Chains A and B, each alone.
Chain A
Amino acid sequence: MRALSNNPILYWLMRNPIWGFVIVVFIFFSLSADHFFSGRNLTNIVVQTSTIGLIALGMTLVMINGNIDLSVGATLALAAAFAVDVQSWAMFATWGNWQILPAVCIALLVGILMGAINGFIVWKTGVDAFIVTLGAMLGIRGLVFVYTGESSFYAMNFAYSDFSSMTLGPFPVLAVIFVLAVLAVHWLLSRTVHGRNTYAVGGNREAAVNAGIRVGPHMMINFMLIGFLAALSGVLLSTQMGAATPNLGRDYELWVITAVVLGGTKLTGGKGDIIGTLGGVLAIGILRNGMNLMQVPAFFVYVILGSILIAVLFLDKRFNRNADGGLRL
């Protein structure tokens, strides 16, 4: 044990087991899948991962707070619908390609607003975030259907759907956005007062209150951040599809939570980080991509991911056994 922890790389891997898994599957697919290890495929993985990944960044904040957000899939769909639809509003008809700008801004604002509603309700009513966002999941999905009238919107402006295939140098612009978002949220969580307070609120709520941290507004800000990131994810997804469908983002909340938990964030709050979450989303992304290349039916990915999730939980419990002091409850 001591020898292990003296080696900084091994020590780091022990603290972030999901990265060990990422490395193992990465090597495995590099050796066994023909087109896996190519620059093009690797950037492709980052792009595919970014949809879930962006939301997972926000979910990490919310879950470190000791909350959860089940409404992200619906928020994503609502933002995507706005992003595509607003472009064709009459008032922007003469704007040319600039009509994309107000559309995206409104979409992102809608995401922030949905987050703010969730956060405000959690703060003021004291109802558990699980229930509040479960309700919002149904309700916001309802808004999506009311807004879209149950049909899909298609982007008329081709610049919009071209955006997703743009590159910055050798890198797809979507990958660049995702990487920037990862860095930004990592910076927020590890370097800013708000980020550090996130751990305090989730790790010891009473201590945080006693220390004068305003827990309610703090949580609301994190809900707004996840709303923003879900909306951003929705906008980017709709550029990839050139459309927004009302069922967009179904079940994403479950994938996102899976990724975040794989990354070592605790449901009870107070523990987790962006490095782990990045490992979690990459694990899912690589597994999906690699198995796809190996022409394994997509079904097996579900089984494998679910099993890994439960296995991680089991190992975590094993290693942290002593919490109950040996009392058999």
Chain B
Amino acid sequence: MLIDRLKAGGPAIAKQGILVAFILFMIVFSVMSDRFMTTGNVMSVFRQATIIGVIALGVTIVVIGGNLDLSVGSMLSFATVLVVDLHDKIGPELAIPVMVLATLCLGAINGFLIGILRLNSLIVTLGMLSVIQGLVLIYSGGQNVDIANQTDTWFRFFGRGAIFGVATPIIIFLGLALVFHVIMTRMPFGRRVIAVGGNPTASVFSGVPRSRVVFMTYLISALCVAVAAMILGSRVMGSQNNVGQGYELQVLAAVILGGTSLLGGSGSILRTVLGVLMLAFIQNGLILMGQPYYTQWLVTWAVIIIAVWLDVAAKRGRLFSPIA
């Protein structure tokens, strides 16, 4: 009976665990460094977290739907290079829609291969990672791109602008998070994503259009990448052709830290936001404490494994795996 209790209540405890850990980290950092809890610092960390954050929102939905998306990193390179390069050629008002459409096409290819043809999402998006990276290099001829006139374009608004003193990227990130949160918790589509991720067979037996739902999750993921590319391109006003390299796994780390299960069917947008912020603040806090930049990765390692371990342990009702 105790096991049943744990099974029922365990995931809830684990959820709180991540929140508790987040607060603990914040307190420790505040005590250790008086520069940590200043508006300026918090805002700046927040702003830097938005690129990974926006992408993580889309990936969260893909993962809740029971799949993975490893192609977001090279897709980000693709979208950023495209929007920056086209900015000077056809102007931002055309460059943005062209970039968004092109990125959505890539998402649609993912969605078609995984949702309709039912190919394994890990391998498909791994292949797409490679294909898209190649496309970026072919498109750019291996050259980095930048925007000539960086001060007079309204494109700077996305990365460098502010609304009522709050940086635009933060507003975009939080706005998008709120919209996705509502979609996932208050709209039929979200319910269907959760069902398909939780049990694809039972979903089909309940008349849920599984292929279409999975297809849509990849479109959403691509859309998020497009938004992140606007922020990134606008902030840097240029782009290296491998700018998104390695993002896929950092994004995934944030999503996992937010408690979204890679098995699909459970997870939450708001907790992904927490995961993203936690990673960003750990990084910032360690730097302020005088630790080298890369210590954050060691801490991330431990935090991810402990977080998932507690979640798994709560679900099975014992700390250690029963396998011999």
Contacts and interface: CB of A to CB of B under 8 A. Distances in A.
Interface stretch (A40-48, A235-243, A251-259): A251-259
A17 interface: no
B14 interface: no
Nearest to A215: B323
Interface residues of B, number: 56
A216 B313 contact: no
Given A135-B253, A298-B137, A310-B124, A142 B321 contact: no
Interface in A127-148: 127-128, 130-132, 134-146
A130 B126 CA distance: 14
Interface stretch (B25-33, B172-180, B214-222, B242-250): B242-250
A254 B309 contact: no
Contacts of A159: none
Contact of A310 (B127, B297, B298): B127
A142 B204 CA distance: 44
Interface string B124-140: 10111111111101100
Size bracket, chain A contacts: 35 or more
Given A146-B298, A267-B122, 6 more contacts: A123-B323, A126-B320, A135-B301, A139-B301, A300-B134, A302-B134
Contacts of A297: 137-138, 142
Nearest to A213: B324
B134 A139 contact: no
B13 interface: no
Interface in A281-329: 297-310, 313-314, 317, 328-329
Given A257-B126, A267-B122, A317-B117, A216 B262 contact: no
Contacts of B132: 306
Nearest to A126: B321
A106 interface: no
B81 to A, nearest CB: 12
B123 to A, nearest CB: 5
B24 interface: no
A313 B119 contact: yes
Interface string A248-266: 0011001001100100000
A310 B126 CA distance: 9
Contact of B304 (A134, A215, A301, A306): A134
B321 A216 contact: yes
Interface of B: 70, 113, 117-120, 122-124, 126-135, 137-138, 142, 200-201, 204, 210, 245-246, 249-250, 252-253, 256, 262, 292-298, 300-302, 304-305, 308-309, 312-313, 316, 320-324
A124 B252 CA distance: 23
B323 A209 contact: yes
A124 B130 contact: no
Contacts of A125: 305, 308-309, 312-313, 320-321
B103 to A, nearest CB: 17
Nearest to B246: A250
A221 interface: no
B252 A134 contact: yes
Given A134-B253, A267-B123, A303 B294 contact: no
Given A126-B312, A126-B323, A70 B249 contact: yes
A137 B246 CA distance: 11
Interface in A157-191: none
A273 B250 CA distance: 31
A303 B295 contact: no
A329 B204 contact: yes
A91 B256 CA distance: 44
A214 interface: yes
Rank and list the top 3 A-B pairs by shortest CB-CB distance, nearest first: A139-B301, A142-B297, A302-B134
B323 A216 contact: yes
A149 interface: yes
A301 to B, nearest CB: 7
Contacts of B312: 125-127
Nearest to B316: A126
Nearest to A310: B127
A313 B292 contact: no
